[in-house]
């Protein structure tokens, strides 16, 4: 059975994509820690990051770093945080989020009531930053 993320990648469920390539996608989480919080997800269904092919994992980190630079450009946070948790969905995903303190990575503080307009705005802001950086992998709106 396909994971929730596979269904988003296939277009069976909605997703606000900011990046697409042949191995990975990046989309906004529906429960952001802060505006601009995204998930870097491999197209392949890999449950645990320890089980990922090292080349795939390296690719995901490169994508996370590039998108992190776009987050820095778009939001100007103190830092851009990265976390691999893997408890929510059995499909490897890397959280990349603007942060100003360690408490900004507290998942108990996620905004489960984020409005669609807020998520659309964040996606547009990140796509614009990625385009400014010259990234051809920017997803169409």
Under CATH, which number does the domain 4-132 receive? 3.30.428.10
Given pLDDT bands bounded at 50, 70 and 90, which one contains residue 6? very high
Question: Residues 21-39: pLDDT tens digits?
Answer: 999 999 999 999 999 999 9
pLDDT of residue 30: 96
Is 91 tagged catalytic? no
Question: Residues 72-119: pLDDT tens digits?
Answer: 999 999 999 999 998 989 999 999 999 999 999 999 999 999 999 999
pLDDT at residue 57 greater than cutoff 90: yes
pLDDT at residue 141 greater than cutoff 80: no
Given pLDDT bands bounded at 50, 70 and 90, which one contains residue 70? very high
Active site residue: 59, 91, 93, 95, which one?
93
Alpha helices in 3-115 (DSSP H): 4-9, 54-75
pLDDT of residue 1: 79
pLDDT at residue 140 greater than cutoff 90: no
Query: What H or E segment, with its residue span, contains residue 132?
Result: helix 116-132
Nearest to 138 by CA among 117, 7, 125, 10: 125
């Amino acid at each position: 059975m396909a994971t929730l993320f596979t269904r988003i990648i296939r277009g069976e469920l909605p997703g606000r994509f900011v990046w697409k390539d042949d191995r990975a996608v990046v989309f906004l989480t529906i429960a952001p820690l802060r505006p601009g919080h995204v998930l870097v997800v491999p197209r392949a269904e890999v449950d645990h990051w320890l089980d990922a092919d090292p080349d795939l994992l390296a690719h995901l980190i490169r994508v996370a770093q590039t998108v992190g630079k776009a987050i820095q450009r778009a939001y100007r946070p103190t830092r851009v945080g990265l976390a691999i948790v893997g408890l929510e969905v059995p499909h490897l995903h890397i959280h990349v989020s603007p942060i100003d303190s360690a408490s900004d990575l507290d998942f108990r503080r996620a905004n489960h009531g984020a409005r669609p307009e807020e998520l659309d705005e964040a996606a547009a802001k990140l796509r614009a930053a990625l385009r400014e950086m010259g990234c051809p992998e920017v997803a169409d709106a």
